[in-house]
């Protein structure tokens, strides 16, 4: 049978990699280093997936734009001290291998920088699973639809042939802005109650159940 969604585009942090806790802690520590108000864990997690400017405006609203660079540098120092030890969520590697072997084309749309995604792919050994990827420092950040539109162009796919998989409202809004279907995982940065506001096709408590849905319905 022909596939409903021959192209599956994944977010990275909070969807494939269990990194949301480290991202939140690194932002909180960076704020502490600079004597800035420390955002709550929920507020720090909410920014995951956004471009740097949007993220910092939300997390530290009183910070002047001139301070973004210093805060970003402190954040990177804390994050890079631990990012090589970040695990994938259970079942991710096996599920991606299964989907690839079934003929799905896999891609990534992430709020990471290109250098950050490259490090993550090298540390996890997942690079060969993906045909294409877009990062926040290469085009307009989420939820602007450019990431998905560029991936569709590169892979010669139509929007109706693709589905976006993510753990945040930013991912789901990204898909909506591109006119693309979406699936939500509920184990990442944003709670299901927030994800439900965007009406994805399905909700999944673990990656294995997501993959099973794609094998059956995708």
Rg (CA), the chain: 17
Rounded to whole angstroms, what are the CA distances from 119 to 56, 125, 143, 204? 23, 10, 23, 27
Contacts (Cβ under 8 Å, ≥6 apart) of 199: none
Edge-to-edge strands, sheet with 132-134: 132-134, 105-109, 7-10, 162-166, 181-185, 203-204
Q: Say which of 11, 83, 167, 171 is annotated catalytic.
A: 11
- Distance from the Cα of residue 206 to its chain's centroid: 15
Is residue 83 part of the annotated active site? The answer reads no
Is residue 33 part of the annotated active site? The answer reads no
Cis peptide before 143 (omega within 30 of 0): yes
Q: Say which of 13, 83, 167, 171 is annotated catalytic.
A: 13
Long-range pairs of 181-184 with CB within 8 A, sequence gap ≥ 24: 181/5, 183/210, 183/213, 183/214
Q: What are the catalytic residues?
A: 11, 13
């Amino acid at each position: 049978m022909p596939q409903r969604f021959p192209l599956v585009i994944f977010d990275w942090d909070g969807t494939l990699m269990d990194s949301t806790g480290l991202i939140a802690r690194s932002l909180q520590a960076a704020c502490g280093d600079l004597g800035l108000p420390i955002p709550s864990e929920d507020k720090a997690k909410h920014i995951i997936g956004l471009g740097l400017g949007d993220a910092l405006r939300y997390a530290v609203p009183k910070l002047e734009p001139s301070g973004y660079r210093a805060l970003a540098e402190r954040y990177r120092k804390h994050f890079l001290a631990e990012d090589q030890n970040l695990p994938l969520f259970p079942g991710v590697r096996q599920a991606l291998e299964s989907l690839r072997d079934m003929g799905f084309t896999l891609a990534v749309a992430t709020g990471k920088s290109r250098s950050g995604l490259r490090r993550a792919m090298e540390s996890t050994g997942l690079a060969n699973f993906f045909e294409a990827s877009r990062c926040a420092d290469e085009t307009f950040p989420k939820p602007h639809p450019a990431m998905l539109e560029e991936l569709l162009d590169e892979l010669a796919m139509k929007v109706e042939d693709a589905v976006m998989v993510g753990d945040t409202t930013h991912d789901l809004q990204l898909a909506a802005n591109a006119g693309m279907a979406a699936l939500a995982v509920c184990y990442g940065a944003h709670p299901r109650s927030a994800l439900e506001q965007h009406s994805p096709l399905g909700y999944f408590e673990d990656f294995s159940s997501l993959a099973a849905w794609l094998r059956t319905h995708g």
